[in-house]
Amino acid sequence: MYNYTEFDKSFLAERNAQFRAQVERRIAGALTEDEFKPLRLMNGLYLQLHAYMLRVAIPYGTLNSAQMRQLALLAEKWDKGYGHFTTRQNIQYNWPKLRDVPDMLDALAEVGLHAIQTSGNTIRNVTADHFAGAAADEIADPRPYAELIRQWSTDHPEFQFLGRKFKIAVTGASEDRAVIKAHDIGLQLVRQNEQTGFRVLVGGGLGRTPMIGKVVRDFLPEADLLPYLEAILSVYNLLGRRDNKYKARIKITVHENGIETIRALTEERFARIRPSFSGVDQDLLPGIAAQFATPSFKSADTAGFTAAYAADPVFQSWVDTNTAPHKAEDYAIVSISLKAHGATPGDATAQQMRVMADLAHRYAHDELRISHEQNVILPHVHTSDLAAIHAALRDHGLATANIGLISDIIACPGMDYCALATARSIPIAQEIATRFEELQIEHDIGQLKIKISGCINACGHHHVGHIGILGLDRAGVENYQITLGGDATETASIGERAGPGFSADEIIPAIERLVYAYLDLRENPEETFLQAYRRLGLDPFKSALYPAAAVAAE
Amino acid sequence: MPRAFTPKVVTANHLLEGDVIYLTAQDGWTRDLAQAEVLTDEADAQLRLLFAEQQPTTVVGAYLADVTPGTTGPEPAHFREDFRRKGPSNYAHGKQEAERHV
């Protein structure tokens, strides 16, 4: 875990004092809303449908127990007792009052957290593989690099007024759990000739015009990371469009100019600025990396775990579904589902946050992660502790065994909260989860990722859901469009639109028809929905979605 | 023939609380849509919007929202305004919690 230095602390204190004064000037009328809005956004404060919303960065999704407890305190003291974990590994508070926000930011600073650059046209919170430092398939922990990028990008004078927001994701594993191909820049740690470096992708993104990122550099030596990122950003800052907000992201710059042009311009810029990087960043990196050192893992008898696994089918199901292989012997990565059937995806109460913090402190080397899939991870757990963890989670509604299954749905806040939304997302997610729980078939269905967005901006990643659902406003009525075959991993693809949308009443039966069609069509229980879709194409699934049209066509 | 003017209310968010408020005929603000002033004339609506925008230390983001006159006061014409009137559907928060006046 990175611990803030005196520099970090004083920077944050100064920034918070500035914002406190800005809030006071706004309340007194010395700042207009037009003047205040960019200032509040740069500090994570939005105005949503029903209230302000404070978006707090969780850098690369990593928290310690003290930080999680502080998030719980904010939820209880200044909000309505809960927080919403997002697809960008952030947490959002939906009900703060303007006067309270400076106090909330000061409370966050006490534990090294902030809301800087969680909005605005800047480099946003850097996201990372939520299994970083623990995954069995990882070549190196990506978080020291993510932290280096955080330090470089925070208040970077050249990049405070980009054409549009800019998102960077980093992974150290071959299995992409960080959706790097749907980011403005995606970084994958790779090894070449005994050297660590990065495969650099650029121009991915979802939203109105979804694009899969393209490789701009196959191998970038570790030491060149910041100058190369700066080169890409500089090229984008000059070349990116500013005439149309919807064409201002780097994915459009790459699409319109071609990856070869972007590569050539980036390399040219890189060659020019590389000498100005004196190596300070590389001097800092070992110190940062040391703070992410692998914890000293214990050895313990696993007989108790084996017995509990054999005796308790509920525990067994949870272990099978919610744990993943760890790099250390007899250790596991635990995913805590924030998707209890019928609950709001990604929401945790203050009490649940404290329970998770306590478990992390007691059993998981004091570490927690927030996944972009809106769950909480205990990255380092000895299998001998799994039964105790499961029991504690079960007592607090946190033991749902559904990671990766149909009810483990990503959903943006949608029109229940978001001022940009065109339809609701949350009730659709709740109803799908509840329906498939009633049907008792979700374990039989197996891996199936449903992702729901309440508008074209795609915060719910619908384009890369195996089943994507996009909520729209059609003539004053909520309408839901389905895309199929999306994939957020290293085999990323953008889902294909299935056909006309469905009303709020029709969407759940439509999903049910789709899933039953998959169960009929799959070759065997091991063939996932995505594999079946890739084998068969859209047509059989479309027939299931639109049976009347299929009959008419015959 | 000119198109019929859809009745409107002036709505905004409260600067300090952030919640949804509506302009009343008495130049005050209410959190209850039923108490809002219904504007049936376009010029009058624009003047009332200007009046609202001149209160930057009370309100944020004032705009005109379509309503349908009902027996107990104006009703939202669009589902977005219906959610603003009530609060979110996943928790009984927002206006569902309590009725208050500025």
Burial of A550 (0-12, 13-18, 19+ CB in 10 A): middle
Q: Which of A33, A48, A95 sits opposite B56 (nearest CB)?
A: A33
Residue A140 contacts by C-beta under 8 Å, 6 or more apart in sequence? A172, A189, A196
pLDDT value of position A371: 98
Mean predicted confidence (pLDDT) in A385-403: 98
Q: Are A460 and A450 in contact (CB under 8 A)?
A: no
pLDDT higher than threshold 90 for residue A219: yes
The percent of residues above 90 in pLDDT, for chain A, comes to 98
What 8-state DSSP symbol labels residue A419?
S
pLDDT value of position B97: 83
Q: Are A31 and B60 in contact (CB under 8 A)?
A: no
Computed on alpha carbons and rounded to an integer, the radius of gyration of chain B in Å comes to: 13
Residue type, A227: P
CA distance B67 to B74: 6
Tell which residue, A96, A97, A203, A188, has the closest CA to residue A142.
A188
User: Is B53 part of the contact surface with chain A (CB cutoff 8 Å)?
Assistant: no
- Residue A57: enclosing H or E segment and its boundaries? none
Mean predicted confidence (pLDDT) in A397-418: 98
pLDDT higher than threshold 60 for residue B100: no
pLDDT value of position B96: 87
pLDDT digits (tens, 9 = 90+) for A2-14: 889 999 999 999 9
Bridge-based pairing of strands A195-202 and B73-76 is unpaired
Residue A386 contacts by C-beta under 8 Å, 6 or more apart in sequence? A305, A308, A315, A319, A323, A332, A334
pLDDT value of position B2: 72
pLDDT digits (tens, 9 = 90+) for A456-499: 999 999 999 999 999 999 999 999 999 999 999 999 999 999 99
Strand ranges (E), chain B: 8-14, 20-23, 29-30, 59-70, 73-76
CA angle A36, B25, B2 (to 5 degrees): 90
Q: Which of A29, A51, A95 sits opposite B57 (nearest CB)?
A: A29
Residue type, B58: T
pLDDT higher than threshold 50 for residue B101: no
pLDDT higher than threshold 90 for residue B1: no
pLDDT digits (tens, 9 = 90+) for A344-380: 999 999 999 999 999 999 999 999 999 999 999 999 9
CA distance A324 to A336: 12
CB contact under 8 A, A50 and B88: yes
Q: Which of A48, A98, A344 sits opposite B90 (nearest CB)?
A: A344
Residue A313 contacts by C-beta under 8 Å, 6 or more apart in sequence? none
Burial of A475 (0-12, 13-18, 19+ CB in 10 A): exposed
pLDDT value of position B98: 67
pLDDT value of position B99: 55
Strand partners, B12: B21
CA distance A67 to A247: 38
Give how far Cα A164 sits from Cα of A42, A57, A122, A160, Å: 13, 18, 7, 10
Tell which residue, A259, A251, A169, has the closest CA to residue A206.
A251
Interface probe for B, chosen from A49, A99, A420 (most Cβ of B below 10 Å), is A49
pLDDT digits (tens, 9 = 90+) for A160-186: 999 999 999 999 999 999 999 999 999
Mean predicted confidence (pLDDT) in A98-104: 98
Give how far Cα A101 sits from Cα of A17, A73, A89, A454, Å: 12, 14, 20, 27
pLDDT higher than threshold 70 for residue A550: no
Lowest mean pLDDT: which of A44-53, A405-414, A444-453, B89-98?
B89-98
The structural domains of chain A, ordered by start, are 6-109 (3.90.480.20), 127-290 (3.30.413.10), 306-394 (3.90.480.20), 410-553 (3.30.413.10)
CA distance A204 to B62: 36
Q: Mean pLDDT for chain B? A: 93
Chain B (56-75) residues lying within 8 Å, Cβ to Cβ, of chain A: 56-57, 60-61
CA distance B87 to B102: 17
pLDDT value of position A402: 98
A–B interface: beta-carbon pairs under 8 A: 75
Give how far Cα A162 sits from Cα of A126, A147, A240, A248, Å: 16, 21, 9, 9
The first and second tokens of residue A111, run together, are 């534990």
pLDDT value of position A50: 97
pLDDT digits (tens, 9 = 90+) for B38-53: 999 999 999 999 999 9
CA distance A210 to A202: 13
CB contact under 8 A, B16 and A97: yes
The percent of residues above 70 in pLDDT, for chain A, comes to 99
The helix/strand/coil state of A220 is strand
Residues of B in contact with A417 (CB under 8 A): 88
Our CA-based measurement puts residue A99 at a distance from the nearest CA of chain B, in whole angstroms, of 7
Mean predicted confidence (pLDDT) in A258-282: 97
pLDDT value of position A1: 81
Phi and psi for B16 in degrees, rounded to 5? -85, -45
